[in-house]
Amino acid sequence: MNAVMLFGLCGPVLVGLGLFGLITNPQPLRKILAFNLLGTGTFLLFGVIARRGAAAGLGGDPVPQALVITGIVVAFAATAMAIALLLRLFQETGQAALDSGDPNGTSAPTDVS
Amino acid sequence: MTAVPYIFTVIAISAGAFFFLAGTVGLLRFPDTLTRLHALTKADNLGLGLIVFGLLPLVEWPFGAFKLISVWLLLQLSGSIVAQLIANFVRREEAHE
Amino acid sequence: MTITFIFDAILVVLLLTVAIWIIVARAAFSAVLAFVAYGLLLAVVWVELSAIDIALTEAAIGSGVTGMILLGAASRLRETEAAVVSAGRPLILAAALLCAVIAAALAALVLSPPSTVFTLAPETMAHLHESGLGNPVAGVLFVYRAFDTLLEKVVVVLALVGVWSLAPDRFWGGIPGLQVSQQPNSVLTLLSQLLPPLGIVFGIYMFWTGANNPGGAFQGGTVLAAMWILVMIAGLQNPPSTNWRWLRVLVVLGPAIFLAIGLAGFGLAGAFLAYPPGYAKPLIIVAEAALTLSIGVALGLLAAGPPERVAQQ
Amino acid sequence: MSSFLIGAACFVLAATALGLLRILRGPGDADRMMAAQLLGTGGVATLLLLAAAVQSPAIVDVALLLALLAAFASVAFVNSASHSQVKASPAMDPP
């Protein structure tokens, strides 16, 4: 057991946790948080692979590291976009829940004019 | 390197780490929000200050030392202002209740 | 068992505790606060994985703009939380099982060491000197994978277009609905007068040192964005109206210059995004300078949100 | 010397991490924010100790970045929380 393996275990656990939150939590904001958690778990896996590829005097393989930086930027852009969508949904309907297929019909009235 | 800066570093960093512990204990044990805020600022000022002080003999002059001192000054600035902001917020919160 | 391993173990335990809290916390607001702490711990994790460039990116984005957007959203949506019906027990159990299986499979993959370790580090270092850069990650981003980096910057611009287009028609081109401080608070004003000059210096330093040391355009631009947002929140400067021509020019300036350099590569070096020999570093610096500015403006506007007021003429 | 520095980093990280119990317990959001703020300071101290231990000046840049943005989350917190504060207060006593 070394430090790389420790972080190598941390990554999958974060992916599992993020996926769990994404499935079970009904609030979209919490789903966005869970999705970000899932993303960072994946990035950690890349980081572990990069650390294993340490060579040529570098602490890690720079190619996966650069991929992670691109990933963080894109994840941020997606998060900002998702939050804006969510706030707009709230402005329009006064609620911020996805239609969960509730049979009692408590979901938002859908009168499309 | 002679032993004198070593001893100085060890003492200063140990004292700084102690203040971090004190700050945490205060944050956990103090009875209300405003006194807890008081504990927080101790860790900011003294804990980090002593650690930066202890690290100074180990870094290269002048840029390494300049960066370390900037880190401390920046946290002084933000720490004191954040304390004020949170205190104001807590007071308004209590006024609403 | 070395002392470094103990440090890493403490770090991982902390990271996972905070991650669990993000998922199970009752109130969204405290989950978001935990997410801010999570980003901070993650930056330390990246340092431990010898990925300082990523640590800088995570520190800038996680403790800066992302936290701010999420906190704003959580406080606006607070009143909707009461109506939420949580998932049923069978679904939770099934999801937990599924996620445990996936995590276990991933962990098994990670823990079974490959027979030959595959790495591109020697290849990267072998040709890095031709670009004139000293930071291998910057080399990968701007030389070997320049096309990806160009598209990544375009994604940020597209996200901004997407956020703006969520405004109701009558507010198109109006002023973003950033929540501005309601108390003309002297402490906040003081902070937003003292910090931005330092932040601007640090942002430029990040971009400049990025050629040879960890750092770069995105990290620098994010700091600039955070400083701009601070000034807007304190009410020292109003958010600009989004139909202001120069604002839009600034947003696309970086990607446009990068694209122009890429197209010039056809004529000067025989391929898209190829740099003529000997001119790689100056061209990359020019592109990065423009990108730093554009990213700063674009991220600030992303955080300010869609237009919610009509622009005054 | 470097194992002493990493040991001190362990101690500071663990000490500030105990403060995370405040994130879990609350009771108010202000207390949670303070715990995150303390973790920020502790994280900066940890990074400085690590930088000195492995002699990597680039790590100091990460600490400097965190120090620069240390107030940002709290400012955003107070700003957005006081907006919902103002919104909540008229609802308590209807006209």
Distances (CA, A) of A26 to A32, C89, D26: 11, 13, 23
Residue C313: per-residue pLDDT: 53
ipTM given for this complex:
0.90
Profile chain C (313 residues) by mean pLDDT over runs of 10 residues: 87 92 87 90 92 92 85 84 74 90 91 79 81 83 87 92 88 82 77 90 89 86 92 86 87 91 86 84 88 92 86 65
Domain boundaries A3-93, corresponding CATH code: 1.10.287.3510
| Residue ranges of E strands in chain C | 175-176, 307-309
| B6: closest chain D residue by CA | D1
Cβ contact C80:A97 at 8 Å: yes
**For residues C230 and D17, which has the higher predicted lDDT (pLDDT)?**
C230
Q: For chains B and A, tell me whether 3 or more CB atom pairs sit within 8 A of each other.
A: no
What does the alpha-carbon distance between residue B78 and residue C104 come to, in Å, rounded to a whole number?
42
Report angle CA D22, D26, D30 to the nearest 5 degrees.
95
User: Which of D72, D83, D87, D92 has the highest number of chain C CBs within 10 A, making it the mutation to test binding with C?
Assistant: D72
Give the residue with greater pLDDT, D95 vs B77: B77
pLDDT per residue as tens digits for the range A4-57: 889 989 999 999 999 999 998 888 899 999 999 999 999 999 999 888 887 777
What end-to-end distance do the CA atoms of chain C give, in Å?
68
Cβ C163–A81 below 8 Å, yes or no?
yes
**Contact between A62 and C139 using a beta-carbon 8 Å cutoff:** yes
Residue B28 Cα, gap to closest chain D Cα (Å) = 6
The Cα-based distances of C36 to A36, C29, C63, C86, C299 in angstroms read: 12, 11, 6, 24, 18
Chains C and A: 3 or more CB pairs within 8 Å of each other: yes
Residues 25-54 of C with CB under 8 A from D: 29-30, 33-34, 36-37, 40-41, 43-44, 47, 52
- Judged against a pLDDT cut of 50, whether residue A109 lies above it is answered with no
What DSSP state is assigned to residue C85?
P
Reported as a single tens digit per residue, the pLDDT across A44-96 is 999 998 888 877 777 888 899 999 999 999 999 999 999 999 988 888 887 77
Residues with Cβ within 8 Å of residue B36, at least 6 apart in sequence: B26, B27, B30, D22, D31, D34
Rg (CA), chain A: 19
Q: Which residue of C has its CA nearest to B81?
A: C187
- Closest by Cα among C128, D64, C65, C292 to A72: C65
- pLDDT classification of B2: cutoffs 50, 70, 90: low
* Predicted pLDDT of residue C280: 83
Whether B55 has a pLDDT exceeding 80, the answer reads yes
The Cβ-side half-sphere exposure at B32, using a 13 Å CA radius, reads 5
**pLDDT averaged over every residue in chain A:** 83
* Cα of B96 to nearest chain D Cα, Å: 7
User: Which residue in chain A is spatially nearest to C160 when comparing CA positions?
Assistant: A81
End-to-end alpha carbon distance in chain D: 68
Which distant-in-sequence residues (6+ apart) come within 8 Å of C84 by Cβ?
A26, A27, A97
User: How high is the pLDDT of residue C128?
Assistant: 81
* C56 within 8 A of C214, measured Cβ to Cβ: yes
* Statement: residue A112 has pLDDT above 50: no
pLDDT for residue A107 is more than 50: no
For the record, the structure tokens of B46 come out as: 């003294």
**Cβ atoms of A53 and C119 closer than 8 Å:** yes
List the single residue in C183, C185, C194 with the smallest CB-CB distance to B77.
Answer: C194
pLDDT above 70 for D88:
no
Identify the pLDDT of residue A99: 61
Contact: D23, C30; criterion CB under 8 Å: yes
Which residue matches tokens 């965190």?
D66
- The shortest CB-CB distance from C81 to any of A27, A84, A88 is to A27
CA angle C298, C304, C309 (to 5 degrees): 120
Q: What residues of chain D, 15 to 74, have a C-beta less than 8 Å from chain C?
A: 17, 20, 23-24, 26, 29, 32-33, 35-36, 39-40, 43, 46-47, 50, 56, 58-59, 61-62, 64-66, 68-73
pLDDT digits (tens, 9 = 90+) for B15-46: 988 888 888 888 887 878 788 887 777 767 78
The structural domains of chain A, with segments of one domain joined by +, span: 3-93
Q: Which of C231, C254, C230 is nearest to C64 (CA)?
A: C230
**Cβ-contact C307, C175 below 8 angstroms:** yes
Is there an interface between D and B (3+ Cβ pairs < 8 A)? yes
Structure tokens at A59: 């602490």
The distance of C235 to chain A (nearest Cα, Å) reads 22
What global pTM score does this model have? 0.91
Residue B90: what pLDDT?
Answer: 84
Closest residue in B to C199 (Cα–Cα) = B74
Helices D29-54 and B33-42, packing angle to 10 deg:
10
Residue-level pLDDT at C84: 66
Q: How far is CA D28 from CA B34, C73, C159, D60, in A?
A: 12, 18, 34, 33
Distance CA B41, CA B47 (A): 9
How far apart CA A88 and CA C166 sit, in angstroms, is 7
Q: Is the dihedral of CA C288, C293, C296, C301 positive or negative?
A: negative
D83-87: list long-range contacts, CB under 8 Å, 24+ apart. Answer: D83/C75, D83/C76, D83/C179, D83/C182, D84/C75, D84/C76, D84/C78, D85/B89, D85/B92, D85/B93, D85/B96, D86/C182
CA atoms within 13 A on the CB side of C60: 34
